[in-house]
Amino acid sequence: KQFNTRLILEQFEDNSFLPKFYEDQARYAFPLELSFLADRFQQLKSQVAVQDMFHPVAIADYFILKSLIFAKKTLNGEEFTLYSRLFSIIENVLPKPDLLVYLYLDISRLQSNIRKRGRVYEQKIEDDYLQKIQDGYLDYIKQQQGLRVLLIDTNHLDFVAKHEDYEKLTAIILQNYSPGIHRITP
Annotation says 98 is catalytic: no
Task: Check: CB of residue 26 under 8 Å from CB of residue 71.
Answer: no
Cα–Cα dist 61/103, whole Å:
10
The catalytically annotated residue of 61, 127, 135, 139 is 61
Q: If you count DSSP H runs as helices and E runs as strands, how many of each does the chain have, helices first?
A: 7, 4
Looking at residue 155, its amino acid is N
Q: Are 25 and 74 in contact (CB under 8 A)?
A: yes
The answer to whether 99 touches 176, Cβ cutoff 8 Å, is yes
CA distance 48 to 57: 9
Active-site residue list: 61
